[in-house]
Amino acid sequence: MSENTHSTYKAAGVDIDLATSLLKDLKPKLAQARRPEMLAPIGGFGGLFQIDLAKWKNPVMVASIDGVGTKLMVAAMAQDFTTVGYDIVNHCINDISVQGAEPVYFLDYIGIGKLRNPIYADVLSGIADACKDANCALLGGETAEMPGMYGNDFDLVGIITGMVEKDKIITGENIRPGHVAIALPSSGLHTNGFSLARKVLFEVAGFDVNSTPECLKGETVGQALLKPHVCYWKAVKALMDSPAVSLDGVAHITGGGLIDNVPRILPKDVDAVFESSAIKNPAPIFDLIVEKGNIEKQEAYHVFNMGAGMVFFVPADQEAETMKLCKEAGFDPFVCGRIVEGSGKSIVK
């Protein structure tokens, strides 16, 4: 470098002005994901959120953090980033809703090698829309442009905070033999199992994101894999608000499937027994992955949600009311299991 050449951040690969310009264009969209408790617009050093003590009498804050994982690699292959913003928000909301927490604010983190569109606008737009749909404030976020760290890839992480009255926390401790398991359908893989799915579909089977196997009924592999994670909060809230239902346990079926996620909420003296044949209308992408990968049944239910995105545990005499409320919330519930005496395990038959 000559003595008259001046080093700049932009020349090193970080374009601060571009980040500012892109964020300015998105601010009207982001501003729609608000709640009255927000005290300042996005862009400050910290987000301000005042708890409404007229609404919350004995509030407990519930927080969670998660990422989208290697689903981002499929989005990059398809050059479709319109769904992953929904994925991160809805995954995080579901994780806290199992304890009965209402989502109140969300923060995002995007780490990227080189800031560019459509990634930035599509991801943040999806985040804002998903937050708005759930009445969750988009309180702030961070976009870190780090050339040399991520290359052409990027990472997406979400942090959610919710609140629940202390006496309304759902723990699973009241799950007893005789309870039934009622599931809500997933849209597909959601955000888990993509390392195995990518290996099977793209390496073993030789598909690409534009392939259209007959079993997908007109969808491409990319479209089937990129369906956004479903948000189940409306059903959880409907059941919690009902005096006719005792929602004794909720499991979000993420990485680890029914086999690993359900035991996280089970008492140590019961087992959950699931009938795989009762899982309603699993997305055809699951059958394709299992067939092409020659994946054993127990492995499939240990990796993927296999069509059951969230599971509720209620007393058997409340089955009909639970089903009705879930349908009124916009879902297609199905009974897929029961609770028996045991040792805290989840069994898939």
Domain ranges of the chain: 16-168, 180-348
**The pair of three-digit structure tokens given for residue 284, joined into one six-digit string:** 């055809």
| pLDDT at residue 6 in the model | 56
| pLDDT at residue 8 in the model | 62
| pLDDT at residue 280 in the model | 81
- pLDDT, one tens digit per residue, over 41-94 is 766 788 889 999 999 999 999 999 999 999 999 999 999 999 999 999 999 999
d(CA 199, CA 193): 10
Does the 16-168 domain belong in CATH 2.30.30.40? no
Q: Which amino acid is at 176?
A: R
- pLDDT, one tens digit per residue, over 27-41 is 777 778 888 888 877
Query: Contact 190/305 with Cβ under 8 angstroms?
Result: yes
- The radius of gyration of the chain's CA atoms, rounded to the nearest angstrom, is 22
3-class DSSP state for residue 212? coil
180-348, which class in CATH?
Answer: alpha beta
d(CA 119, CA 113): 12
| pLDDT at residue 103 in the model | 98
- pLDDT, one tens digit per residue, over 232-242 is 999 999 999 99
The verdict on pTM exceeding 0.85 is yes
C-alpha to C-alpha distances, 21 to 27, 61, 115, 217, nearest whole angstrom: 10, 35, 11, 41
Q: What is the mean pLDDT of each run of 10 residues along the chain (349 residues)?
A: 57 66 73 84 80 93 95 95 96 97 96 87 94 95 85 91 97 96 96 96 96 93 97 98 96 95 96 93 90 94 95 97 97 96 95
**The pair of three-digit structure tokens given for residue 175, joined into one six-digit string:** 């799950």
